Chain A
Amino acid sequence: MNEFMRKLLMLPPQASTLARSIDYLHYFVIITTMIGAAGVAALTLYFLIRYREGTGRDRNPPPDTRPHHARGGVSLWFELSVFGGLLALFVVWWIIGFSQFIRIAEPPPDSMTIYVVGKQWMWSFAYPHGAGSNGVLYVPAGRPVKLLMTSRDVIHSFYVPDFRLKTDVVPGRTTQLWFEVKEPGRHPVYCAEMCGPGHSEMRAEVIALADADYERMIQGLAQAQVAGPVQGLAIPFEAEPREPLSLAAMGQRVAAEAGCLRCHTVDGTPHIAPTWAGLYDAVIPLADGTQLIADAAYLTRSIMDPAAEIHRGFTNVMPSYQGILTAPQIGAIVEYIHSLRDVSRSPGEAPLPAPIQGTVPLVTPLEGTAPGEPRAAVPNSTGATP
């Protein structure tokens, strides 16, 4: 029955754990809607025919002297029952729908976190322990996964029809979406908020893998995607560490899990964000021309409100981690940065990010950019070059 309705209404496969119950509500609502509309139309047609001019059904009733009520009008009680019933039906829909929405909005506490960045016109994913991928989101089947998402530029929307889930991806904020995929499989991802000429091509894919396959896949990714030519930083995928970690080592792990290392290098190599090598207690120039010392307080503030005191020469693309990292985690990261204070920094400008391999767009990109590259050619109206 479920499959019949699903196919009739052209709904995609119910790949997430919530999809089926959402679809049941869908059937309830749509069937009622169709019956209601058809019923009104049928009743209208019936009256149009039955009371048409010349049938004689109108000739007999006396003039209607009741104020404001026509001949053949219905009693107030009947009307109130109809509207009361209709309102009750809508409220029932709302109750079911809202309780489902609450479940959609609140991830289970043991969810695995994956970071998502949407940017014109591609999706990037960062996994715990530092691995990353573009255009393909690898998730374990049978486990809840929580996506923490932000945008690098304009509003996008992360939409997986097979899961019946969608959340806008907003610059300057972190939004969230969670799901549990029932079985291994592939599911298309679309961008669902108008974001420019490449909007229709901003696609991705969720690949759900069985647990063992998943671990292998993530380990394979871990080596490749950390920022800069760093050796030996990828942390082996282990559920529990074999011995207690120092605070700095814990900070290193958190930094990898939280995706920091995708933009901050630790060996002095220039990249999207200031390198952590030699950063602690150094004098750094700020965007507004002043200078300050990058002490623990500054580093902590930068994690919570990155835009407030930006290092000169870098663009404001870092999302805030307020509410995402706990105080001990932030402290651990700061301690890790502290442990890198004697690593020498190399001078030089940060190069543009290299072209990223991933989904190839269906059409020729704007002149002057390679697939996936930011549109460096055209500065936006604020003068900033994206």
Chain B
Amino acid sequence: MTSYLTETTGIKSWLLTKDHKRIGLLFMIATALALILGGVFALLLRFELVNPGPDFMDGLTYNRMFTHHGIVMVFLFMVPVIPTVFGNFFLPMMLGAPDVAFPRLNLASFYVYCAGAVIVLASLWFGGVDTGWTFYTPYSTSSPTAVATAAFGVFVVGVSSILTGLNFIVTVHTLRAKNLKWMEMPLFVWAIYATAIIQVIATPVLGMSLTLVAVDHAWALGIFDPNMGGDPVLFQHLFWFYSHPAVYIMILPAMGVVSEVVCTFSHNRPSSYRAIAFSSLGIAFIGFLTWGHHMFVAGMSVLDVGIFGILSMFVAIFSAIKVFTWTITLKHGRIRFTTPMLYFFGFMFLFVFGGMTGVAVATSSLDVHWTDTYFVVAHFHFIMVGGTLTMYLAAIHYWFPKMFGRMYPERWGLVGATGVILGFIFTFTPQFLLGNAGMPRRYWTYPAEYQWLHVASTAGATILALGLVVTLGYLIWALFKGPRAERNPWDSRSYEWLAPTPPPVHNFEAPLEITRGPYDYHLPESP
């Protein structure tokens, strides 16, 4: 029996594939490389910060390092990873479809991503960028670094994101299997769908804002230059109009993974399917209304501060609904504690704590002290790493058997997960305290009394890196030497597990007939 992995061979059959599963794997390799690159930048930053004064970098290099850490991590890893890897691989299967709506467009979005990534890396070659991933004007339009190249590269990656989102929206609307109703799709599909809506609506605005910065940097347009009558704060509004919804692009797919992992490994249906499905849409909607909370001290009116603050409170409630639902789903389940569940447990603490510190910074008066300090850095890393990265890793382990037909070594999985979670906690908890103490972010040198917190943070970062390296190691081993997996090793009811392991080129041997829900654990597995 051939699978999508073995049906055709040769490098061309991979590089020119239209199979959504192979495209998912291509993205998996590309985004993993981005994660490694961004992680290396982060480690270099952390080692430089071990001493208050300069160690092995000067100020300009340090600024370039954190800028590229941010650009690579946000645009080349966080935003694309779960949709392009697991969305690509499993969205069609979860709908009972043989592929996405536009397979060639899917391949195109991979190459557009690669082109954008190459341009972003080229900016490193041309001297790097030192503005921070937020590109604030007028510094970004006057900085003597490769701003135009990097901004243009991000624009191109954004196009890839829009194409992916477009493809997924049309797929969900038009390719559901015959009897599959909206309210019977796996919840991961809802998460990807809500994410795709944000991708399509928000990313063009970022593309336009960064194009303005790139053109301004190259040819002095002066749109945001006060010397030419421009208003630099307008850039911030345009930038955050995308970049706040972007954080929901980064977390919603991870929440989709949580839903799948929790239901499968507690062998229980979600305590409220509707709550999770609609809260995903709620996050997508309200997420567009809160961008101003990044600008509380930027010169907005007091009224704006109030409005953006209260709206930000609402968005947190949707996340709370999900957390609550997931917790109750565990009740009266039949739980197996596997590596994905350990990541889930880490997520529950880290995401909840990180999310609530988000509500804390939305409390306007507190944000006056915290904004632009390490507190905010800790807050968003708790969500991005503690939330998205943990569930990305959970997804790799959860779907590993289906994707590759092999099992990963469970004990090593638990070891790796422990390293990642503990390493993360030690890296970023000290940063909350640094922020409280008043240490601004993007600082290369700092007052000596903060040193012990920085040393602790760097120690944690080293453990986190080790955990990731261990994980990568055994996963690669498992790819070639892991024990063969059966079709549905987790006894999940979700539809992708009905396909053979690994799946054939068009996913199912015969057109899928849906006769039960994706979480009908009270029914036996075979349809």
Contacts and interface: CB of A to CB of B under 8 A. Distances in A.
B354 to A, nearest CB: 9
A166 B371 CA distance: 8
B309 A94 contact: yes
Interface stretch (B218-226, B283-291, B391-399, B456-464): B218-226
Contacts of B306: 98, 101
Interface stretch (B99-107, B169-177, B316-324): B316-324
A58 B310 contact: no
A183 B137 CA distance: 38
Interface string B115-155: 00000000000000011101011110111100000000000
A44 B327 contact: yes
B443 A166 contact: no
Contact of A9 (B144, B314, B436, B523): B436
A26 interface: yes
A187 to B, nearest CB: 10
B334 A104 contact: no
B60 interface: yes
B352 A37 contact: yes
A97 interface: yes
A101 B305 contact: yes
Contacts of B275: 79
A378 B144 CA distance: 9
B231 A172 contact: yes
A40 B323 CA distance: 8
B337 interface: yes
Contact of B63 (A58, A98, A197): A197
Nearest to A362: B445
Given A199-B442, A363-B54, A91 B313 contact: yes
A154 B353 contact: no
A305 to B, nearest CB: 10
A380 interface: yes
A90 B316 contact: yes
Given A47-B331, A190-B438, A197 B59 contact: yes
Q: Kindly name the residue among A45, A71, A96 whose own CB sees the greatest number of chain B CB atoms within 10 A.
A: A71
Given A37-B349, A37-B352, A199-B443, A171 B328 contact: no
Contacts, number: 305
B139 A381 contact: no
Nearest to A12: B438
Interface stretch (B9-17, B84-92, B359-367, B409-417): B359-367
Contact of B271 (A72, A168, A191): A72
Nearest to A66: B269
Contacts of B364: 94, 97-98, 100-101
Interface residues of B, number: 105
B1 interface: no
Nearest to B445: A200
A307 to B, nearest CB: 7
A164 interface: yes
A342 interface: no
B372 A64 contact: no
B335 A48 contact: yes
Interface stretch (B35-43, B247-255, B295-303, B508-516): B295-303
B139 to A, nearest CB: 4
A155 B366 contact: no
A159 B368 CA distance: 9
Interface in A268-322: 307, 316
Given A101-B305, A166-B371, A33 B353 contact: yes
Contacts of B440: 159, 190-192
B136 A362 contact: no
Given A51-B332, A383-B220, A93 B302 contact: no
A120 B144 CA distance: 14
Given A41-B345, A73-B271, A47 B309 contact: no
Contacts of A72: 268, 271, 328, 331-333
Interface centre among B53, B271, B336 (most CB of A within 10 A): B271
Contacts of A37: 349, 352-353, 356
B297 A41 contact: no
Given A51-B266, A381-B217, A199 B227 contact: no
A307 B229 CA distance: 8
Nearest to B63: A197
A216 interface: no
A188 B448 CA distance: 13
A69 interface: yes
A104 B268 contact: no
Nearest to B443: A200
Nearest to A87: B317
B437 interface: yes
B273 interface: yes
A73 B328 contact: yes
A170 B224 CA distance: 12
B330 interface: yes
Contacts of A165: 368-369
B317 A83 contact: yes
Nearest to B310: A94
Which of B217, B297, B365 neighbours the largest number of chain A CB atoms within 10 Å of its CB? B365
Contacts of B434: 10
A154 B138 contact: yes
Given A53-B334, A200-B59, A40 B348 contact: yes
Contact of A74 (B54, B271, B298): B271
Nearest to B353: A37
A34 B332 CA distance: 27
Contacts of A196: 63, 130, 139, 143
Contact of A26 (B233, B298, B366): B366
A188 to B, nearest CB: 7
Given A171-B226, A382-B227, A29 B360 contact: yes
Which of B59, B273, B299, B337 has the most chain A CB within a 10 Å cutoff? B59
A356 interface: no
A90 B443 CA distance: 32
Among B63, B274, B368, B447, chain A packs the most CB atoms within 10 A around the CB of: B368
Interface of B: 53-54, 58-60, 63, 130-132, 134, 136-139, 141-144, 183, 217-218, 220, 222, 225-233, 266-275, 296-299, 302, 305-306, 309-310, 313-314, 316-317, 320-321, 323-324, 327-337, 341, 345, 348-349, 352-353, 356-357, 359-360, 362-366, 368-369, 371-373, 433-434, 436-438, 440-447, 522-523
22 contacts: A10-B436, A32-B356, A48-B337, A52-B335, A53-B334, A63-B523, A70-B331, A71-B268, A83-B317, A90-B313, A94-B310, A101-B365, A167-B299, A168-B297, A173-B231, A175-B299, A188-B438, A190-B440, A192-B440, A200-B443, A200-B444, A201-B445
Given A101-B302, A106-B302, A155-B139, 9 more contacts: A37-B356, A71-B268, A93-B359, A102-B302, A157-B372, A170-B298, A173-B233, A194-B134, A194-B139
